[in-house]
Amino acid sequence: MSGSALLASLLILTGCSLAPTYTKPDVSAPPAFKEAQLNATDNGTWKLAQPSEELPRGQWWTVFGDATLNDLEQQAQDANQNLKASAARVKEARALNQAARAGLFPILDAGFGPTREELSAASQLQPDGTAIPQQTLWRAQASASYEVDLFGRVSNTVSAAKADQQQSEALFKSVQLALQADVAQNYFSLRELDAEAQVFATTVDLREQALKLVQHRFDEGETSELDLARAKSELATARADAMTDSDCMLPLNTALRCF
């Protein structure tokens, strides 16, 4: 077989891929949503979806202007093990993608190093037994290799590695966003409980002051024993509510240990 025929055969084989061809499934879906046909007046509050998965979300929690929340978000991102594992998988996927892409290019290898050798007396036209001194030779070597992409093996490997990298990056973003959202949600839940505890404490204080006033009026004969009993009952109820709420409270550091 001539060189040109061999080259043509290799080119034909290179264009033949053994990877299965993706076939889009048939789905009976309308060509467009009915809301998309409305004008600006009839559309009202409807708005076409604009996917923004690729857009960086940034530090969205800073819009609340809470320094404590900002610090907790940073602590969670620095200490969360699931996020670290996801980031490590992204680095691994990127390295595998680069290794796969290296198969598309020739591999060059070069080296330079010394060798120690001693020539024989006969090679130097000397009598047998003549001492020939050893000598050091420095050699430089270079080689090149290239794998022809037969049946699309290399290109399919690159495509698969790229898809794995994109998947790892998407999972990392999802884990990061879920972590940030959980920290913010738990933080505001705790702040809500703090506000409720303050309300209960204020209520108990007001009930105590009211009881003192009713007790004073009762001692002066200006009110009945029923009013005094009602004031004591209201104070006991307020204290019971405050104790129940305090049992549900958790310290902020304890509640965030799950991160």
Q: What digits encode the pLDDT tens for the residues 224-241? A: 888 888 888 888 888 887
What pLDDT shows up at residue 42?
57
What pLDDT shows up at residue 259?
42
What pLDDT shows up at residue 85?
92
For the ranges 26-40, 128-142, 171-185, which has the lowest average pLDDT?
A: 26-40
- Residue 233's nearest CA partner among 212, 207, 258, 254 is 207
Residue 55 domain-assigned (yes or no): no
**Full domain range(s) for residue 247:** 63-105+165-259
pTM, rounded to two decimals: 0.60
Residue 253 domain-assigned (yes or no): yes
- The DSSP element (H or E) to which 210 belongs, if any, is helix 153-219
What pLDDT shows up at residue 67?
92
**Rounded-to-integer distance, Cα 174 and Cα 176, Å:** 5
Residue 133 domain-assigned (yes or no): no
**Rounded-to-integer distance, Cα 113 and Cα 10, Å:** 37
Residue 197 domain-assigned (yes or no): yes
What pLDDT shows up at residue 193?
87
Q: How many domains does the chain have?
A: 1
Residue 186 domain-assigned (yes or no): yes
What pLDDT shows up at residue 110?
82
Residue 214 domain-assigned (yes or no): yes
What pLDDT shows up at residue 207?
87
253 has a pLDDT exceeding 50: no
CATH code: domain of residue 202:
1.20.1600.10
% pLDDT > 70, the chain:
77
**Rounded-to-integer distance, Cα 180 and Cα 58, Å:** 11
Q: What is the per-residue pLDDT across 33-46, written as a single tens digit (0 to 9) for each?
A: 666 666 656 556 66
Q: Is the dihedral of CA 125, 129, 135, 141 positive or negative?
A: positive
Q: Residue 178: count other Cβ atoms within 10 Å of its Cβ.
A: 12
CA 232 to chain centre: 56
Which string of DSSP letters, residue by residue, matches 21-38? PP-PPP----SS-GGGG-
For the ranges 123-127, 240-244, 254-258, which has the lowest average pLDDT?
A: 254-258
Residues sharing a CB contact under 8 Å with residue 187, sequence separation 6 or more, in sequence order: 66, 68, 69, 72, 252, 256
For the ranges 39-53, 219-233, 245-259, which has the lowest average pLDDT?
A: 245-259
Structure-model confidence comparison of residues 215 and 183, the more confident one = 183
User: Which residues on adjacent β-strands are paired with residue 197?
Assistant: none
Cα distances (angstroms) measured from residue 79 to each of 62, 64, 83, 160: 20, 23, 8, 32
Query: 120 in helix, strand or coil?
Result: coil
Q: Extract the tokens encoding 59.
A: 């530090």
Residue 151 domain-assigned (yes or no): no
Residue 189 domain-assigned (yes or no): yes
